[in-house]
Amino acid sequence: MAGTDQPYGVQDPRVAYASEISDLVRLTEEALQDPGLADTPTTYVHLLAALLSFEGADVWGEWLDGLNDEEYEVSCPTCSTENFVAFGAHGFFSTTDSMYMKATTARKVPLQPQASSALAGLGRRLHNRALADDQSGVAHKLTYVFGNAQCAECDVVFSVAEAVVARRG
């Protein structure tokens, strides 16, 4: 469903299977509300990603799982340097060192989370949903994913979410 690489000339699956997708949306919504099914943050993020896929949010349906990995690898929109945006057990920063989880002397620039009151669009929707579903840890990570990072190479500040979409969209 989430794949953006559909063969040319094939009918859009959202049109061809609209009824089935509607059923999947309903079932996924039910699963998200069931504490027995969405009991861990990892499972919750997988279900949320499935819901986004069924709703047509292609990039985030495929790549929301970065929340579970606690990082996104993105290109700086100004200098194209690869930045690892980490938000979790290893800290909340951007760096150009792919081995940042080891003890290194690499530069780590603190992330700039978006205030929850300032989130808009999909970021606000996902954050509010996570809070309503008692997934405060997921909601917290979303403030970083929909916040800003500073390139560890050229120091330009950029939107993490926009960089994720640009890389994978």
Count of C-beta atoms within a 10 Å radius of residue 95: 23
50-104 residue pLDDT tens: 999 999 888 999 999 999 999 999 999 999 999 999 999 999 999 998 888 887 7
Residue 115: is it exposed, middle or buried by C-beta count within 10 angstroms (0-12/13-18/19+)? exposed
pLDDT band of 7, cuts 50, 70, 90: low
Residue 28 near residue 54, CB atoms below 8 Å:
yes
Amino acid 49: pLDDT: 95
The pTM (predicted TM-score) of the whole model is 0.87
Q: Report DSSP state, residue 118.
A: G
Q: How many residues does the chain have?
A: 169
